[in-house]
Amino acid sequence: MAGENPLKLIRNSFLFALLLSLCLVWSVHAQQGDLTISMRRDFGYSSGGADIQGLFSVTASAPAKLTKVAFYVDQTLIGEVTQEPYRLQFNTDNYPLGMHQIYAIGTTWDGFPFSSRILNANFVSASESWQTAMKIAIPILGISLLAVLFAAVIPLVTGLKTQMFPVGVQLSYPLGGAICPKCGSPFAIHIYGLNMLTHKYDRCPYCGKWSMVKFASTEKLRVAEQLQWSRANEKAQVPEMTPEEKFKIELDDSKYHDV
């Protein structure tokens, strides 16, 4: 060691320090992680896959402190953001139709670059996006029309008969219950009832009347049941007239009718 060249020692020490510093820098940036990127639709069309059209936002983030984030469509720089949130808005109509690669490159305070993953997107025209949307909307509209038709036909078939209110029986309401505004009877909402925003156009099975009703709480339905039971008991306590009594009343009433 004593006879070793001092210049060689200095050179070796310098190379070792440089290598150590590079390893530390690489270790720090490796722990900081990569730049993440996401895209959302602001206005326009998205198929849920690669096809997009309209106004979109790209957002980037990283564990490291960034000084700027540059956003790219293919190899074209579309903008830079120097403060959080690192978000940039773009319109697909400003670019040629077809497949494109969207990505971002962030830069830390010490100039270390972070690259994001690549988002592949197919820029389509407004007319093409409208046609695709209609292919999805038309079946949904058809199903909705069938549901309305079903709701209109079923009452015509099943809604001609009325039934007596079941006195002393606690009712069940699988789809919810309502109270008839015509007779005050609680009844279970029917699947064929028409939805009218906050109300439902449904038929009371006890009086046979159609009306706009709204869903009632279980407590209110139980109170209405008790009220109907009380009314039924009051009617049962009134003795029914015999045929002779009815004839006598009709005979007395006939005295006041012109012959």
**Domain count of the chain?**
2
120 and 167: one domain? Answer: no
Q: What is the CATH number of the domain that holds 101?
A: 2.60.40.10
120 and 166: one domain? Answer: no
> What does the alpha-carbon distance between residue 179 and residue 217 come to, in Å, rounded to a whole number?
10
120 and 174: one domain? Answer: no
Instruction: Give the domain-ending residue among 72, 104, 124.
Output: 124
Residue 12 lies in a domain: no
98 and 172: one domain? Answer: no
Check whether 183 has a pLDDT greater than 90: yes
Instruction: Give yes or no for a contact between 122 and 53, defined as CB atoms under 8 angstroms apart.
Output: no
Residue 6 lies in a domain: no
Q: Name the one residue in this structure whose structure tokens are 């279970």.
A: 188
Domain span at residue 104 reads 32-124
Q: Quickly list H helices, the chain.
A: 6-32, 126-158, 218-237, 243-254
Q: What is the 3-state secondary structure (H, E, C) of 113-177?
A: EEECCCEEEEECCHHHHHHHHHHHHHHHHHHHHHHHHHHHHHHHHHCCCCCCCCCCCCCCCCCCE
112 and 45: one domain? Answer: yes
For the segment 190-201, the average pLDDT, to the nearest whole number, is 84
CA atoms 69, 71, 77, 79: torsion sign: negative
* Mean pLDDT (the chain, rounded): 79
Write down the pLDDT at residue 251: 65
Write down the pLDDT at residue 126: 82
Q: What would the pLDDT profile of 62-98 be if each residue is shown by its tens digit?
A: 877 889 999 999 999 999 999 988 999 999 999 999 9
